[in-house]
Amino acid sequence: MNQLQNKSFEEALVRYREKWDKIKDPCVVYDFPIPDVSCKELFLKRVSEHPDKTYVISRSTKMSYVECNTLAAKIANGFLAKGLKKGDRVITYVSNGFEFVALAHACFKTGIIMVNTNPRSTADEIIRRIKDCTPKMVITDSDGADAVVQALKDDKAGVEHMVFCPALEKENRWEALSAWESIISDDATEPDIAIEPEDIAILQYTGGTTGVLKGCCQTNHAFVAKAMAQVQYFRPFLNDNDYENYIVIIALGMSHAFGFGQGIVVNLTMGGTIFFAESLDEILRVIEKYRPTVWPSVPLWMKLIATHEEYQKYDISSLKVITCGSAPLPVDVIRRVEELTGAVITEGYGMTETVNTITINGHDHRKVGTVGVVNPNIEYLIVDQETGTEVVEDGQPGEIICRGECVMHEYWNNPEETAKMLRNGWLYTGDIGRIDEEGFLIICDRKKDLIITGGFNVFPSELEAAAITAENVADAIAIGVPNERRGEVPAIFVQPIAGKTVDLNEVERVCREKLSRFKVPKEYYIMDMLPKTKNRKPDRKMVKKLYLEHAFDDQKWEH
């Protein structure tokens, strides 16, 4: 960064901070030193403080802090006995449950990097991750076993151990997978391995701006900073008793950055209980029975509660705050759910690369329709979209850039993408927003053409790459189209090869074969000629414009 640009940024930050200071919650500390500790140390502190407190409730069974610590230590020593060492990678392809939590802490204890992988991933997606991060071990439950075995049937790609995890199904029906017991040692002593704050704890993959696979290196320091920031954020909402009896309901996938952060990471400082649920009905029953005060949620669930009476029969009045992210939430839905529950819904903005949210609406100062005020130990600016070197006028849209304690270290083995994303200490998000006159952040658009469906990110280029492999398809464009339940869903538009006919059943079959279930397009269309930009690139904006103008209403094909 040149001296002039640096001065411009610092002058803008002074202006931003003046706004933020007026709308920050007064009891929240926004700038504080992050202790020089690891996730391992924080967890051991919680274990020593309340060993017999329930840490995880899953499938009607409870596990205490000390029980989880014992299992994690046995797995950690099992890793070491298999020849794994600090810095090696282990892909976890595991659903929510005790096993996932214990695996995470086993990695924290050894410095082995946990590669957090969505259990919905296909064999193609798994092998791409394996080739990128070269893990020594892959651990999968029954949901992912077929995909893992298929991915590695011809070429192990350096993977030395394939292990079955009984998170869902107890019986290991796959000869290629070793038993869960093979990585559980009899030795429950704490591994004598020094873990530094800057050591990578988790490798969390994201598709990035163009759908290119990128592994976000998230350090122990970033997770500790997130955990402490979350405690500060909850301060205006919770009293001492709420902290003592903190329960977090997790139906979000722990393989997702939001789920992992709200479940495991926050409890490094909160010392609470993680309750795994699998459906909205179960979530609401758990809230009614266990009376938690905090619920990390997504827009889909909020919309269902606001509009469906069957979800309004539960007493969930214990809730004080519902955190909601991943997509904008309509104001009328916010008002209705708050009326029904008495809780405050707070929306925030963040991304995998920032570990924590960059902004979130507070308690004393909240502005519905925005994503709130800056979080502790982070700051952001709005810069021009072309060069990213000039701060735009307040109120004008531009690219959001940020810096702070929670920002990722780098992309795994990808210096080129790292250099694009991290410039002179600032992370360039690729998202467009503006700061209003009071200092609240408003998200205008997603520069990345990202499709967000039910809280999951879907990259159009990945869908297009799958669709064009179908017979007689010359080109394809994927967009997100409005959907009442999921916010938006993927739709695919295909252009036939000249003189050929495309069977949309075949396009749908190919997409199902190559894509995770949540990525599979829900609507299919044929266009004789797809629109292109002046640079001859697929014009997604034009397709979306035509769609919203109902140009394709009589052509819709749905699976």
Mean pLDDT of the 2-27 span: 86
- Residues 325-353 have pLDDT tens digits of 766 777 888 999 999 999 999 989 998 99
Answer whether residue 188 shows pLDDT above 90: yes
- Of 251-260, 274-283, 360-369, the range with the highest mean pLDDT is 274-283
The whole-angstrom separation of Cα 9 and Cα 381 is: 8
Answer whether residue 147 shows pLDDT above 70: yes
**Residue of 290 and 210 predicted with greater confidence:** 290
Answer whether residue 559 shows pLDDT above 90: no
48: which DSSP letter? Answer: H
The whole-angstrom separation of Cα 513 and Cα 406 is: 36
The candidate with the shortest Cα–Cα distance to 414, out of 203, 260, 107, is 203
Q: 534 Cβ partners below 8 Å, 6+ apart? A: none
pLDDT of residue 4: 54
E-state strands within 351-455: 357-360, 373-374, 378-383, 398-404, 410-411, 422-423, 426-435, 441-446, 451-453
Mean pLDDT of the 154-170 span: 92
Burial 108-137 (b: 16+ CB within 10 A, else e): bbbbbbbbbbbbbbbbebbbebbebbebbb
pLDDT of residue 100: 96
pLDDT of residue 208: 41
Answer whether residue 3 shows pLDDT above 80: no
What domains are there in the chain, each with its CATH number? 9-35+218-446 (3.40.50.12780), 39-195 (3.40.50.12780), 451-558 (3.30.300.30)
CB of 119 closer than 8 Å to CB of 143: yes
Question: How many residues are given for the chain?
Answer: 559
Answer whether residue 558 shows pLDDT above 70: no
In the three-class reduction of DSSP (H, G, I as helix; E, B as strand; rest coil), residue 308 is classed as coil
Mean pLDDT of the 384-392 span: 92
pLDDT of residue 38: 97
- Residues 408-449 have pLDDT tens digits of 999 999 999 999 999 999 999 998 899 999 999 998 766 667
Question: 39-49 and 98-110 helices cross at what angle (nearest 10)?
Answer: 120
Lowest mean pLDDT among 187-191, 197-201, 316-320, 378-382: 316-320
The whole-angstrom separation of Cα 474 and Cα 409 is: 40
Answer whether residue 177 shows pLDDT above 70: yes
Answer whether residue 209 shows pLDDT above 50: no
Answer whether residue 207 shows pLDDT above 70: no
Average pLDDT of the chain is 90
Which pTM does this prediction carry? Answer: 0.83
- Residues 73-121 have pLDDT tens digits of 999 999 999 999 999 999 999 999 999 999 999 999 999 999 999 887 8
Answer whether residue 511 shows pLDDT above 50: yes
Answer whether residue 173 shows pLDDT above 80: yes
